[in-house]
Amino acid sequence: MLLAGGWDLIAPAKKVKEISKVANSNMKDSSVLVTIARGLHTGFEDQITLFSLPISSVLKGADLAKVFFGFADITLFKILGLLGTLRTKTGQIDGSSILMSYFLSQMTAGQNITPKKAEQYLDDNITDRFEDKFVFTYGGEN
């Protein structure tokens, strides 16, 4: 199962779709693609990361940042907070977490994952207003 954010600049949805198509051409229906409308890049980090460098670690260890940058760090966090608000309004974080749970439970049970089953699981477990933000296909093919 591959998740692709429609607004992702790091791993564009078109590239993720190509990966899914190639996987499905090698083994039919082996890759379920989930495209998230207005979704941004989500890694497996549990903290904000820029250029593979966790910002929280840098700022924790750099109290001098306040001296050198003044309100720059506060401004950065305000901007990231605003972007975070926009991001959560897509249901991306909740949906990604729900789908990861589904994927892992199906995988450990040795069950197949289909777009229809994954979408039903998400619909049953996410706030109704976010259901239409997720599109499920086999590599972009309906």
Q: What is the pTM of this model?
A: 0.63
pLDDT at 45: 47
The span from the CA of 133 to the CA of 142, in Å, is 16
CB 2 within 8 A of CB 32: yes
* Least confident piece of the model among 3-12, 35-44, 50-59, 99-108: 50-59
Q: How many C-beta neighbours within 10 Å does residue 90 have?
A: 20
pLDDT at 64: 54
* Least confident piece of the model among 21-25, 30-34, 81-85, 130-134: 81-85
The span from the CA of 139 to the CA of 136, in Å, is 9
Q: Which tops the pLDDT comparison, 115 or 62?
A: 115
Question: What is the DSSP-derived secondary structure letter of residue 11?
Answer: S
Asked if the model's pLDDT at residue 56 lies above 60, the reply is: no
CB proximity list for 29: less than 8 A, separation 6 or greater: 114, 138
* Mean predicted lDDT score pLDDT of the chain: 78
CB 20 within 8 A of CB 31: yes
pLDDT at 46: 47
